[in-house]
Amino acid sequence: MASSSSCYSNSPCAACKFLRRKCMPDCIFAPYFPPEEPQKFANVHKIFGASNVSKLLNEVQAHQREDAVNSLAYEAEARIKDPVYGCVGAISILQRQVIRLQKELDATNADLIRYSTCTDHILPNNQHQDHQAPRIHEDGGGSSLGPPATFYYPSPWNNDPLGDGNFHTGGGGDNI
């Protein structure tokens, strides 16, 4: 709900203080621009103008006014930070970031699937009889009983720096 009106106390709302006018009990700005947040109204006034904000608040239903003021304040702050694009610029940046992260996730999932199909080269021979869980074949279709899929992550902490399934430690072939 809207913050309590400051018109009933000694201090005028941020809008009336900014506009240097007396804050009346029926002030349209008072519930949404408390005296503790003067920059909120200053930004909205700078971008939209007090008259336009007043008209907008009078046209919007009472239960939607707080959301309208919050949207105006957000857009005003974004316009001050980025005068050309405003919040559309921020949205565009976030959309590009989501697309980039989705591509990265898809590539990582493809790597996980590719590496999980190479488990015959990674698991020692004695583990093939111990585990009987369904696994996906290299051709991508169906499943059969076999060892569980283990995932290879190329990182500096494993003993397979080339990622080819041949462990290059100088020791035996059963290193994991």
- Cα–Cα distances (Å) from 176 to 25, 63, 64, 66, 134, in that order, read 76, 63, 61, 60, 22
Per-residue model confidence as pLDDT tens digits over 12-24: 999 999 999 999 9
Per-residue model confidence as pLDDT tens digits over 108-161: 999 999 888 876 555 555 555 444 444 544 444 444 444 444 444 444 444 554
Answer whether 123's CB lies under 8 Å from 150's CB. yes
Answer whether 8's CB lies under 8 Å from 30's CB. no
pTM above 0.85, yes or no: no
Domain ranges of the chain: 14-81
Tokens of 50: 């007090």
| Side chain identity, residue 88 | V
Task: From 79, 81, 6, select the one nearest 37 (Cα to Cα).
Answer: 6
Per-residue model confidence as pLDDT tens digits over 17-73: 999 999 999 999 999 999 999 999 999 999 999 999 999 999 999 999 999 999 999
What distance in Å separates the CA atoms of residue 51 and residue 120, rounded to the nearest whole number? 73
Residue 172: beta bridge partners? none
The number of residues making up the chain comes to 176
| Confidence label for 11 from pLDDT (cuts 50, 70 and 90) | confident
